[in-house]
Amino acid sequence: MKYTGRVWKFGDDIDTDLIIPARYLTTSDPNILDGHCMEDADPDFVSKMKKGDIIVAGKNFGCGSSREHAPIAIKAVGISCVIAKSFARIFYRNAFNMGLPIFESPVLWDKVSDGDLITVDSDKEWAKKVDNGSATFPFKPMPPFMRELMNAGGLMSFLSRRQSGGMAK
């Protein structure tokens, strides 16, 4: 898959309370959570971003609680994927379970700015700035099972396809 969107850059240790504040955890409805995505990190984020845009973050993105609300909110608001130097372990797994494409790149954060237009190629595992010729910034290889979950659209879709015979068991 390829994704092209504007960069929304966040730093290190963006915890799940910054992604979706705890005051909104009375629901897991994506149509409610999307309006509050990244609200405590950037109060105007939802009004500024456009569907298909990309979050690029520093180290330990998604640290904090184990809530699945964080990747649900990011996906629901229309972010196409998240690229970070590293992810908190529970967020990493929750993102795949919820069908949010995520990628680890130790170098991309240092090479982009807010508003840069980038293209991500998940199959070739790289990103590049659209206006920067052919320079690509590689991702860490994704484990095969995680790639299967991502390609299926999340754990529930993966299991549903598997049960209906749409995937190898």
Domain around 95: 2-139
Structural domain includes residue 167: no
Q: Would you place residue 166 in the very low, low, confident or very high pLDDT band (cuts 50, 70, 90)? A: low
Structural domain includes residue 166: no
How many folded domains does the chain comprise? 1
Distance, in Å, from the CA atom of 145 to the CA atom of 69, rounded to the nearest integer, reads 22
Q: What is the mean pLDDT of residues 143-158?
A: 85
Structural domain includes residue 118: yes
Structural domain includes residue 85: yes
Q: What is the mean pLDDT of residues 58-67?
A: 93
Per-residue pLDDT tens for 19-43?
999 999 999 999 999 999 999 999 9
Structural domain includes residue 153: no
| E strands present in the chain | 2-10, 54-57, 81-84, 102-104, 117-121, 126-129, 137-138
Per-residue pLDDT tens for 127-137?
999 987 678 99
pLDDT of 167 strictly over 60: no
Distance, in Å, from the CA atom of 95 to the CA atom of 103, rounded to the nearest integer, reads 10
Structural domain includes residue 38: yes
The domain that holds 48 is classified in CATH as 3.20.19.10
Q: What is the pLDDT of residue 168?
A: 53
